[in-house]
Amino acid sequence: MNALDALAASTTVVVDTADLDLVSRWKARDATTNPSLILKAARDPRFAPLLRRAQQSADGAPDEERMDRLLVDFGMAILERVPGRVSTEVDARLSFDTAATVARARRLIALYAAQGVARERVLIKIASTWEGIAAARQLQLDGIACNLTLLFSFAQARACAAARVQLISPFVGRITDWHRQQAGAAWDDAATRGPADPGVRALLRIWRHYKQNGVATEVMGASFRNVDQIAALAGCDLLTIAPALLDALAASDRAVPRVLDPAHPGPVEDAVPATIAEAAFRAELAADRMASDKLEEGIRLFAADTQALLQLLRD
């Protein structure tokens, strides 16, 4: 048994890519995409037919509508290769607009439905701003499952729990990146690996709080930088992993025992309600420089890749 097989014994492994060949290779249950991954795949000559189809579709339609068609076309191709769900992201430029996010999410679901895809097979990805979480609350009530992304803080996780979203994606690697950058030359790589990794600790805090409070929202670790981060979270509900790290796991014979057990989540770390009001959310997020920095950066980068994808469609 290799390390990937050992991990899969306790955790649902999700492939984090829009490269259709790699989705086929790994045969994961689910797959996740984001604007950066879609842009990379759309630029690949192997997938030029999908790009051309979106460019030629709905003649005279706004660019954003053609982009949504491209996202769904990639999602459809992915669903042909996985038995479970695909995550498709709403335009990151709408991260602070609840009504616009809801409208775009419904359009994405309608495009999937027009091709015969049941709602249960699609997760709508939305940035974990207060406005994004409010949009997810509405969508969940309409039966549209959401994946709240760009999640870096306990405050965001509590707000998502209150909104009863289907799934959250704490960004383990990006949390650690911030702490490493802040530490500079003082960063001790050996002392901050595995269970001591800042991103691992952040996800574990959220996961324990959810399990201790009976929160049904799924926790899916994302944005990993190394195998140690992944192994330290074996037993998490899901982990979405880039192909390069899936390769590393498959090539390794290291033991990956279950670390997180929902039946025994560990000691209570945060004796606070799972809910959080808007004022407290904004105050806690503002006080957490790592979370506010990384949330703003993530939205900015995804918005830039969205602009690049729109230009690709125009060209």
Residues assigned a catalytic role: 125
| Cβ atoms of residues 180 and 230 within 8 Å | no
Alpha-carbon span 144 to 166, nearest angstrom: 9
The pair of structure tokens assigned to 201 is 């600790």
Element (H, E) at 105: helix 98-114
Do 150 and 125 meet the contact criterion of CB atoms below 8 Å apart? no
- Who contacts 17 (Cβ-Cβ below 8 Å, separation ≥6)? 23, 31, 33, 37, 41, 242, 243
Would you tell me how many other CB atoms lie within 10 Å of the CB of residue 312? 17
Give the separation between CA 166 and CA 314, rounded to whole angstroms: 34
The answer to whether 172 and 239 have CB atoms below 8 angstroms apart is no
Q: Which residues contact 298 (CB under 8 A, 6 or more apart)?
A: 92, 127, 149, 150, 171, 174
Match 């790699």 to its residue by tokens: 22
Please list, in sequence order, all residues whose beta carbon lies within 8 angstroms of the beta carbon of residue 315, skipping any fewer than 6 positions away: none
